[in-house]
Amino acid sequence: MRLLSAGLAVGSLAACAHGPIPGSFTRPHEAPAATVLNYESSFLGGSGTLWMTLPSGENFTGPYRLVPHDPNRQMTASLTGDRGSTMVCRFTLKEPGVGPAGGGTVQCQLSTGGLFDASF
């Protein structure tokens, strides 16, 4: 029984995909800055969390949810900043239903002006 419990615990940890999505954040009239959008999927992989810190120091976080087998391979997420701003991220995924772990492109539009772009 202990061996089964240990195996399930290890399997749970391995099932959650996570990682960085390096990209570029640009504000009007400013030079682009290297910025990273991070993700971590839920245990079953149908949803997860995104987070990012902008060059200004504002931290954003928010959930994402996948639509399994979406033929358009689209995913949208809304992130909330700790200084009152919001950000909408629009993904085009390489593999429908897989999430960020499968690769794709993303654009995040900041409510106060600015754009994050990445291909991963």
pLDDT in tens, 4-13: 344 444 444 4
Percent of the chain with pLDDT over 90: 72
**What's the rounded Cα separation, in Å, for the pair 42 and 110?**
25
pLDDT at 57: 97
The pLDDT of residue 35 is above 50: yes
- Lowest-pLDDT choice from 11-25, 27-41, 68-82: 11-25
Query: Does the domain made of 16-119 have the CATH classification 3.40.50?
Result: no
Position 15 confidence tier, pLDDT thresholds 50, 70, 90: low
Name the 3-class secondary structure at 32: coil
3-state helix, strand, coil in the chain (%, to 5): 15, 50, 35
Name the 3-class secondary structure at 30: coil
pLDDT at 43: 83
| Full DSSP string of 44-98 | TSSEEEEEEE-TTS-EEEEEEE--TT-TT-EEEEEEEETTS-EEEEEEEESSTTT
pLDDT at 114: 97
Nearest to 106 by CA among 96, 94, 116: 116
pLDDT at 82: 98
Name the 3-class secondary structure at 23: strand
| pLDDT, greater one: 11 or 27 | 27
